Amino acid sequence: MLDRRLFLANASLGLAGMVAGCKDPAVPLSIGAAAPALPLPDFYAEIEYRTFRYFRDTVNPLNGLVPERWPSPSAGSIAAVGCALTIWPIAVARGWIKRDLARDLTLATLRFFDSAPQGDDAEGMSGNRGFFYRMLDMKTGTRRGKAEISSVDHALLNMGMLFAAGWWTGDTPEEQEIRRLGVDIADRAEWLWMQNGGTAIARAWRPESGFGKEGVEGYGNGMAAVLLSLGSGRHPAEDGAWEAWCAPYVRYWRGEGETRHLAYGPLTGHQHSHMWIDFRGIRDTVMRGAGFDYHENSRRATYANRAYCISNPMKWDGYSADLWGIAESEGPGAFSLPFKGEKRTFYGYGPRGPLDQPGERDDGTIAATAALGSLPFASEIVIPAARALTAVPGLYREYGLLGGYNRSFRYTDQKVTTGNVSADNGWMARDYLALGQASVIIQAGNYRDEFVWKVMRKSPVLRRGLQRAGFTGGWLK
């Protein structure tokens, strides 16, 4: 059981008034050179701590599983587990949790996955061929419903395991076991099987239907999966996986000059792999030709996401220079309703992104944590956004920022199951989303002192994957 007395007491944070305005012509849309890193204001530490409590209070300490969302009933997300394995050491360093408790949580997690049942059966299994189902029952740890094996989610789990193996460097038997299991479990994934006879990594597999048609290719949230597949010490993918990933890039380029970047609508696609991989100064063949790295690409994408919200072509309420961040998020639900003289479509949980970008979908919903996940890329615009988002009435609560809000959805006569609707402030999500929560904490750790990046730069698995993908320069020298 977790001893709540081990944690710091929660401090209150006064909420300022709403930031108004949808389009500010005085705000420049140009990017320019990266701004010097700014010191984080005091209020940001409170955001981090509140957000950490999501993981502290929802984890099953017996197996390390973390729910995909809360307070709605939810299965455990393996991607969230990978994040939790990364967050426990951050919490130790910040004084939020004692080292021995973080160690015990980490070891319980790795021991569970070490012995979790694997096989072709559709029921009673936690995974197959070294991979784990995306969603697992919080108590039994076996497949939940018809959940698929997702190579992308599995990669985030493995990233957390490899980080744990690199951070827990003590000589005690417990820390030695963490190091052994962290690498060993990650190396069990049969990435050649996941290539399914081709070059691209398959995105999903189910026992009922086999591999899905979609591969992990084209810019987005799958970079970590391809790089881990190439770096595996036991079952690596064949050559060509990274080339297959890059092949569709021609359809992803947007902008000119200083705004040119590989676009992907949901902002989270520019963040998830970057939580563990320091792309600063290292480039593959494509980015050597482009003249900048993937870290700079995410900076430009962050600015593009904000610029879209400032221009606000669909005239939604609530978008502004400080209230922005369109990504995968919770939403009001499936509705087709009148808005400012037009029929508009709203959505529930799912990906969102600026129009004219891959993955485009804009229904007026802001993903509350999305901007904060870009802190290492563009702190000069993220810190003001964090201040504004925490000032939105009802959005910033016990565990930080809720999973989304929509100022335009003021339809109090509609039956909404995903949150609450106010005639004044619109729709507000009921749930917190684990991956959004994690991006706030992990990216703040990277921004403060490269907390995760400096450990992962030493990972043999990651280094092999980057080198096989053709990355050179920077810390890879």
Nearest to 191 by CA among 200, 180, 182, 178: 200
pLDDT of amino acid 38: 77
- Closest Cα to residue 243, out of 200, 297, 292? 200
Confidence of residue 156 (pLDDT cuts 50, 70, 90): very high
At a CB cut-off of 8 Å and minimum separation 6, what does 14 contact? Answer: none
Give pLDDT tens digits for 238-278: 999 999 999 999 999 999 999 999 999 999 999 999 999 99
Extract the tokens encoding 113.
């996955």
User: In angstroms, rounded to a whole number, what is the distance separating the alpha carbons of residues 367 and 269?
Assistant: 13
- Give the integer Cα–Cα distance in Å for 401 and 398: 8
Using CB atoms within 10 A of its CB, is residue 25 exposed (0-12), middle (13-18) or buried (19+)? exposed
pTM, two decimals, is 0.92
pLDDT of res. 37: 74
Write down the pLDDT at residue 25: 31
Question: 179 vs 48, 163, 173, 414, CA distance in Å?
Answer: 27, 9, 10, 52
CATH topology of domain 59-251: Glycosyltransferase (1.50.10)
Cα 328 from Cα 264, distance rounded (Å): 11
Which pLDDT score is estimated for 33? 61
C-beta separation of 177 from 106 below 8 A: no
Domain boundaries, the chain: 19-57+289-448, 59-251
What does the pLDDT look like over 375-416, one tens digit per residue? Answer: 999 999 999 999 999 999 999 999 999 999 999 999 999 999
Write the pLDDT tens digit of every residue in 293-347.
999 999 999 999 999 999 999 999 999 999 999 999 999 999 999 999 999 999 9
> In 208-322, which ranges are continuous DSSP H helix?
223-231, 241-246, 285-290, 294-311
Mean of all residue pLDDT scores within the chain: 93
Residue-wise pLDDT for 55-78, tens only, equals 999 999 999 999 999 999 999 999
Whether residue 445 contacts residue 456, with contact meaning beta carbons closer than 8 Å, is answered with no
Query: What are the tens digits of pLDDT across the range 14-24?
Result: 222 222 222 33
Q: What pLDDT was estimated at residue 34?
A: 66
CA distances from 402 to 86, 389, 429, 431 (A): 21, 10, 6, 6
pLDDT in tens, 414-465: 999 999 999 999 999 999 999 999 999 999 999 999 999 999 999 999 999 9
